[in-house]
Amino acid sequence: MKTALITGASSGIGKETAYVFAKNNYDLVLVARRKDVLENIKTDIESRFKVKVTIIITDLSVLNSSNEVYQLIKEKNIVVDVLINNAGFGVSGNFAESDIEKVTEMLLLNMITLTRLTKLFLKDMLNLNSGNIINIASTASFQPVPYMACYGATKAYVLNFTEAIAYELRKTKVKVIAICPGATESEFSKVAGVENALMFKSVPSSKELGQFIFDSMNSSKYSKIHGLKNRILKNLGLFTPRRLELAVTASIVK
Ligand SMILES: NC(=O)c1ccc[n+]([C@@H]2O[C@H](COP(=O)([O-])OP(=O)(O)OC[C@H]3O[C@@H](n4cnc5c(N)ncnc54)[C@H](OP(=O)(O)O)[C@@H]3O)[C@@H](O)[C@H]2O)c1
């Protein structure tokens, strides 16, 4: 039986990804802050599938949380076959008026913890010469994002970091991939304060993303973009002057 560790599994994409992996006979380690929510998900998954679910309640925006998660897993003698760095959130508005503490929390969660968890579990995967690491980037990774400047930059980091190490690891049996969802139905838009933004009109479900993540895990690509529209927009961006791209991006975020 293989085990998948999913951060940010209490809602949205992480939660739905957990159901897809459970359906495919993976034991799960689910990480998030909301205890009651994760307990309910554990009970539901274990009642529907023949898998074991371990939950870890922690705030992953705390610097040392990655080491604590890793230690807990070692103590339980769990071998993580698939690491899914999914936990993340966005902050919107003018950078000049932003709450720098909230922004710092986001930088720590979206980039630092993702990097540290990757480093910790990669060492074990390389020893076994087997494993998958899936980092959730975004279509926000491809260009600067006015009014979500720091969020967009964190996702550019996730994409570039992930593709670079995927290349470094190409001759091993450890597969690393960045997944880039476009706007998706989840709690993300509410948390980021962009529920009314144009980009959140008519979006795919987190369930669809969960399946996409599972199906993409062993792709030979270093990154995959979800959805035809998002792939077309990314390619159009390659031929668009940067200032125009900034203006278009700003108009769909606000
Ligand atoms: N939805 C979109 O439009 C979209 C588009 C592109 C990329 N993404 C990316 O997809 C990933 C998943 O987002 P989502 O759309 O599923 O949003 P979501 O529904 O808000 O889920 C975010 C998850 O992250 C967890 N989380 C947030 N802060 C945390 C912290 N400090 N410590 C531990 N866990 C934390 C939340 O759990 P708790 O609150 O219980 O801690 C929740 O389970 C994110 O990386 C996001 O950037 C989303």
d(CA 18, CA 7) in angstroms, rounded, equals: 10
Residue 52 a catalytic site member: no
Q: Which two tokens stand for residue 215?
A: 């199906």
| Residue 71 C-alpha from the chain's centroid | 21
Lookup result for tokens 């260009």: 143
Assign 221 to helix, strand or coil. Answer: coil
Residue 14, CB half-sphere, CA atoms under 13 Å: how many? Answer: 28
Over 90: is that where the pLDDT of 20 sits? yes
Ligand 1 neighbour 14 (Cβ under 6 A): yes
Residue 234 a catalytic site member: no
Specify the range with the lowest mean pLDDT, choosing from 75-79, 145-149, 193-197: 193-197
Mutate to test the pocket of ligand 1, among 29, 35, 85, 89 (most ligand atoms within 8 A of CB): 89
d(CA 205, CA 227) in angstroms, rounded, equals: 12
Q: What element of type H or E holds 54?
A: strand 53-57
Catalytic residue (choose from 26, 70, 147, 151): 151
Ligand 1 neighbour 30 (Cβ under 6 A): no
φ/ψ (deg, to 5) at 4: -115, 130
Give pLDDT, residue 15.
98
| Residue 219 C-alpha from the chain's centroid | 17
Across the chain, what does the average pLDDT equal?
Answer: 97
Q: pLDDT tens, 108-131?
A: 999 999 999 999 999 999 999 999
Let me know: does 175 contact 83? Beta carbons within 8 Å: no
Give pLDDT, residue 186.
97
Lookup result for tokens 């579990």: 121
Ligand 1 atom index nearest CA of 190? 20
Give me the mean pLDDT over the 173-187 stretch: 97
How big is the chain by its Cα radius of gyration, in Å? 18
Ligand 1 atom index nearest CA of 181? 6
Give pLDDT, residue 254.
82
**Percent of the chain whose predicted confidence (pLDDT) is above 70:** 100
Domain total of the chain: 1
Tally Cβ neighbours within 10 Å of residue 175: 20
Ligand 1 neighbour 32 (Cβ under 6 A): yes
Q: Which two tokens stand for residue 143?
A: 């260009």
pTM above 0.85, yes or no: yes
Ligand 1 neighbour 188 (Cβ under 6 A): yes
CATH number at residue 111: 3.40.50.720
Question: How far apart are the CA of 139 and the centre of ligand 1, in A?
Answer: 15
User: Residues 6 or more apart from 7 whose CB is under 8 A from it?
Assistant: 14, 31, 32, 60, 84, 85, 86, 87, 113, 117
Strand order in the sheet with 53-57: 53-57, 26-32, 2-7, 82-85, 131-136, 174-180, 223-225
Q: pLDDT tens, 183-241?
A: 999 999 999 999 999 899 999 999 999 999 999 999 999 999 999 999 999 999 999 99
Which range marks the domain in which residue 165 is found?
2-253
Question: How far apart are the CA of 7 and the centre of ligand 1, in A?
Answer: 9
Over 90: is that where the pLDDT of 106 sits? yes
Q: pLDDT tens, 22-49?
A: 999 999 999 999 999 999 999 999 999 9
